[in-house]
Structure 1
Amino acid sequence: MGFWGSYVVCRSQTPLDGIHAVVERHDGIDEHEHRPGGWQIGRCPGPELADDGPALLAELADETGAPALTGFVLDSDTVFVEGFSAGGGHWRACLVREAAEAYCEDDEEDFDAEFPPPEAAAHAAAVWAREAGLLPDPSGLLEVFAVEDAFFAEELFFRLLDLLGIGPAEQ
């Protein structure tokens, strides 16, 4: 069985477990990573953060003063990615699209309308990254959103962060 839960990505001097937008929605962060430029990544097991993505991201961006991103991992098969920035608003995409679609097949929503194809997803992610003051790799973003199979989808999520310009973990 793979991982089920969310990754929260934000830029803040306040540790994630001290940020109200996260704390009010979840009991705890079981992994925490710092990246250059003040970026933090926290892993929160369970579905709680995924249930309130747009509101969480808007509050997180407001509280930190910077764009924010989440990735909800479903059994390590796929990742639903959501981002928010004050200027660009909310956007959604998915990694390992076929697996994501399989998880949504019983939903009554239009999957393609909810989760844009790789080209549009890569564009939205690059716009988000630029608004965050990062230097994204547009062709790399397109490649990661087009991956059709992954043993651990969360590894793709971390690749996505690298391609957005959120550098490797601080040593």
Structure 2
Amino acid sequence: MSYRRHLLVARDDRPLPELYALRPYRRAVAGNEPRGDNWQVCSLDSDAGLGDSVALLVEIAAETHTAALLASFMEDDRVAVEGFSGPYGYWQAVLGARRAAGDRVLEPPVFSAEEAAAVAAKWAEAAARPVPADSILEVLRAPVEPSAEAVFEELLNRLGLTGATDTSLAEIG
């Protein structure tokens, strides 16, 4: 599977590239976007060579004492989203898993959209951003239009992580 880039989302007083957990990936950092309330989106180039994404999320969540997200943008405009929070554990979803030309699932994700939405809502709760699972489910089922970045931005908004600066997700990587 080929990736265009990865976005890490976490909350910390320091810029995310300074996290100990990200030390192996510092050369791949392509940008860091501050968001409201110390939340940040750190962009990593496709050559970051992320190994065990679950272990990375667990390490980031432990270091920052809050929930963490990883979005991996695939060449075919799908986005694999993974989240972890200490109280609620791991979840994953694929944005754009259903393509408009036939509504056929390309790869079955580990979690159904409903399961992912339920755990993502708990993730948001752990991040002090409570939101209903139905709101998240709408985004998980939406086509990736106009772009994968726009749909991921909408997911962040639905998770309560609004407050982007003047920089869009498309521009930070």
2:141 aligned to which of 120, 130, 146? 146
User: What's 2:82 paired with?
Assistant: 82
Question: C-alpha displacement at 1:165, in angstroms?
Answer: 0.3
User: What's 2:161 paired with?
Assistant: 166
Counterpart residue type for residue 154 of structure 2: R
**Is 1:61 the equivalent of 2:56?**
no
Return closer, same or farther for 1:167/1:148 CA change in 2, 3 Å cut-off.
closer
2:126 aligned to which of 118, 123, 131? 131
Question: C-alpha displacement at 1:117, in angstroms?
Answer: 2.4
Counterpart residue type for residue 128 of structure 2: G
Farther off after superposition, 84-93 or 18-27 = 18-27
- CA separation in 1, counterparts of 2:143 and 2:163? 24
User: What's 1:155 paired with?
Assistant: 150
Question: C-alpha displacement at 1:125, in angstroms?
Answer: 0.8
Question: C-alpha displacement at 1:153, in angstroms?
Answer: 1.1
Question: C-alpha displacement at 1:101, in angstroms?
Answer: 5.0
Contact 1:76–1:153 at 8 Å: present in 2 too? no
**Once the two structures are aligned, what percentage of the paired residues are identical?**
31
Q: Summarize deviations over 1:92-112 as a string: whole Å, max 9, x none.
A: 11111135953x5xxxxxx34
- Give me the TM-score of the superposition, normalised by structure 1: 0.84
Return closer, same or farther for 1:54/1:24 CA change in 2, 3 Å cut-off.
same
Farther off after superposition, 20-29 or 66-75 = 20-29
User: What's 1:32 paired with?
Assistant: 32
Q: Secondary structure at the match of 1:127?
A: helix
Q: Secondary structure at the match of 2:52?
A: helix
Question: C-alpha displacement at 1:139, in angstroms?
Answer: 2.7
Q: Summarize deviations over 1:37-85 as a string: whole Å, max 9, x none.
A: 1100011111536432101001001111111111000026111111111
- CA separation in 2, counterparts of 1:57 and 1:16? 13
- CA separation in 2, counterparts of 1:23 and 1:34? 19
- How many pairs were matched up? 161
- Give me the TM-score of the superposition, normalised by structure 2: 0.83
Q: Secondary structure at the match of 1:84?
A: strand
Q: Secondary structure at the match of 1:24?
A: helix
Unaligned regions of 5+ residues in structure 1, if any? 105-110
Contact 2:121–2:159 at 8 Å: present in 1 too? yes
List, as ranges, runs of 4+ consecutive aligned residues in structure 1 with deviation greater than 4 Å.
none
User: What's 1:92 paired with?
Assistant: 92
Question: C-alpha displacement at 1:143, in angstroms?
Answer: 0.8
Counterpart residue type for residue 156 of structure 2: L
Counterpart residue type for residue 123 of structure 2: W
Question: C-alpha displacement at 1:138, in angstroms?
Answer: 3.0
Contact 1:6–1:70 at 8 Å: present in 2 too? yes
Question: C-alpha displacement at 1:35, in angstroms?
Answer: 1.0
Contact 1:5–1:44 at 8 Å: present in 2 too? yes
